[in-house]
A = this chain, B = another copy of it.
Amino acid sequence: MKKYAEMTKEELRAELEQVRAQYEELKARGLSLNMARGKPGKEQLDMNGPMMDLLNSESDYFCDGIDVRNYGNLEGLPSCRALFAELLDVKPENVFVGGSASLQLMYDTIAKAYTHGRVMGPCPWAKLDRVKFLCPAPGYDRHFGISESFGMEMIPVPMTAEGPDMDVVESLALDPEVKGMWCVPKYSNPDGIIYSAETIRRIASLRHAAPDFLLMWDNAYCVHEFEGDYVPFPDILKECAKYGNEDMVFEFASTSKITFPGAGISVFACSERNMAYMKKLLNAQIISYDKVNQLRHVRYFRDKEHVLALMKRHAQILGPKFKCVLDALDKEIAPLGIASWQRPKGGYFVSVNTMPGIAKATWKLCKEAGLTMTGAGATYPYKNDPLDSNMRVAPSLPPIEQLEQAMEIYCASMKLAALEKLLAE
């Protein structure tokens, strides 16, 4: 097969005819498929059934000398803090266990910066005319959604194979209006890359003009390998502390993709000074989070070793799904030269970069044929992908047989969009 860029108009027209016929045939099937969000599939959820059968008798609700059903322990059940301390390689006193969503802890961290300011001052961000935030892109749309909700000026930073382009970050951080940065350091959303040691060092040692610069370190996929063994990852708290930046960072994690997306538990980890400050502020907001669910997770997870064993079982389900996506792309798209993509070994996404100018059109064609994809552009601040190129593929939800159909539609749609674009030029 020739690359599309090397085809003559005539060849392109012939190809268009064939691809359109294939697309129409797929569309005629009247399917309803979804690769839009990083939702675990039913098989993954069913795996965790045993977790729901661990609290039976009245004595089961006692842990660390605490009746987990009652009020108390704002910062979380001690055993649960210890468990996440082991997972994240931090100290238990650096861990705060929240409710079912790490997104809410992230939102609250930003919200409190707005209403109360950060622990080091100088003032609540709500008092400022402008707050700028660094947004490595492509990135996670819900991070950008929080920034947008608060009216931040989001500044895109290019992603490289090693993480955010640090030359750009270091230069932008010298602007005192730049108040922080979003990061998904391991299996980044959507690229699935792991920040390199050098990138992490440069982030941890970042010189920032804003004294209250806030590093939002969303370690969402900290144990989420679906291919190969667990990849150890440096603790960002200790890294930042090496350079006197210990109060700069909040790290986040959750069990949304280990147990239940809608009913797991979430944590943040931070310096002792940040912890004392956040506890004071959170104490006005909530008496305590759901410790029954925290205990359920403690009993189910036991320790890091057991969590990693559990993740191997997730990998058995997710691995073939990612292979299905990559195989289809390799077979259908690679020879045509109309897109490139990452080959992640963990996380929840495949990040596809089409030839410029066809991501939106591809999305629309998918939609019309019954396949919902993450919105084209969603991976960029303000949903504005300047090249109209990046698309996030989320293969976790559909069963394999649906995924195969979805990839047929996706590849046909991308080809069609590419041909129409090339023929219109």
Interface centre among A55, A149, A283 (most CB of B within 10 A): A149
Q: Taking CB as reference atom, which chain B residue is nearest A149?
A: B284
When chains A and B are docked, how far (Å) is the Cα of A115 from the Cα of B116? 11
Stretch of A11-19, A40-48, A218-226 at the chain-chain interface = A40-48
- A262 and B101 contacting across the interface, CB-CB below 8 Å: no
A285 in contact with B126 given A291-B262, A292-B260 (CB within 8 Å): no
- B56 and A70 contacting across the interface, CB-CB below 8 Å: no
Interface flag for A99 (CB, 8 Å): yes
Interface flag for A293 (CB, 8 Å): yes
- Expressed in whole angstroms, the minimum distance between the Cβ of A96 and any Cβ of chain B is 15
Stretch of A61-69, A168-176, A183-191, A330-338 at the chain-chain interface = A61-69
A263 in contact with B126 given A53-B56, A107-B284 (CB within 8 Å): no
The interface of chain A, by Cβ under 8 A from chain B, is: 37, 39-40, 42, 45-46, 48-49, 52-53, 55-58, 61, 67-72, 99-101, 103-104, 107-108, 111, 114-116, 124, 126-127, 142, 145-146, 148-150, 256, 260-263, 281, 283-293
- B39 and A262 contacting across the interface, CB-CB below 8 Å: no
When chains A and B are docked, how far (Å) is the Cα of A262 from the Cα of B291? 7
- A101 and B287 contacting across the interface, CB-CB below 8 Å: yes
A104 in contact with B285 given A69-B263, A262-B69 (CB within 8 Å): yes
13 contacts between A and B (CB under 8 A): A45-B67, A45-B69, A52-B55, A69-B262, A99-B290, A103-B286, A107-B284, A108-B285, A114-B126, A124-B126, A146-B285, A262-B292, A293-B293
Choice from B114, B256, B285, B292 contacting A263 with Cβ under 8 Å: B292
When chains A and B are docked, how far (Å) is the Cα of A309 from the Cα of B145? 44
- Expressed in whole angstroms, the minimum distance between the Cβ of A30 and any Cβ of chain B is 20
- Expressed in whole angstroms, the minimum distance between the Cβ of A47 and any Cβ of chain B is 10
> Which residues of chain B have C-beta atoms less than 8 A from A71's C-beta?
37, 39, 256, 261-262
- A67 and B55 contacting across the interface, CB-CB below 8 Å: no
A46 in contact with B58 given A104-B285, A126-B124, A292-B262 (CB within 8 Å): yes
- Expressed in whole angstroms, the minimum distance between the Cβ of A268 and any Cβ of chain B is 15
> Which residues of chain B have C-beta atoms less than 8 A from A149's C-beta?
116, 281, 284-285
- A107 and B285 contacting across the interface, CB-CB below 8 Å: yes
When chains A and B are docked, how far (Å) is the Cα of A55 from the Cα of B51? 11
- Additional pairs, 12, CB under 8 Å, beyond known A68-B263, A114-B126: A45-B70, A53-B56, A69-B263, A99-B100, A100-B289, A103-B286, A115-B126, A145-B284, A149-B285, A262-B288, A262-B290, A263-B293
> Which residues of chain B have C-beta atoms less than 8 A from A287's C-beta?
101, 103, 142, 261-262
When chains A and B are docked, how far (Å) is the Cα of A210 from the Cα of B242? 51
Q: Which 9 A-B pairs have the closest CB atoms?
A: A126-B126, A263-B292, A149-B284, A107-B285, A69-B260, A100-B290, A71-B261, A263-B290, A104-B286
When chains A and B are docked, how far (Å) is the Cα of A178 from the Cα of B216? 36
> Which residues of chain B have C-beta atoms less than 8 A from A72's C-beta?
262
When chains A and B are docked, how far (Å) is the Cα of A412 from the Cα of B116? 43
When chains A and B are docked, how far (Å) is the Cα of A53 from the Cα of B40? 25
- Expressed in whole angstroms, the minimum distance between the Cβ of A349 and any Cβ of chain B is 15
When chains A and B are docked, how far (Å) is the Cα of A70 from the Cα of B34? 14
When chains A and B are docked, how far (Å) is the Cα of A146 from the Cα of B282? 10
> Which residues of chain B have C-beta atoms less than 8 A from A52's C-beta?
55-56
A107 in contact with B286 given A39-B70, A45-B70, A58-B46 (CB within 8 Å): yes
When chains A and B are docked, how far (Å) is the Cα of A142 from the Cα of B74? 14
Interface centre among A45, A145, A146, A283 (most CB of B within 10 A): A45
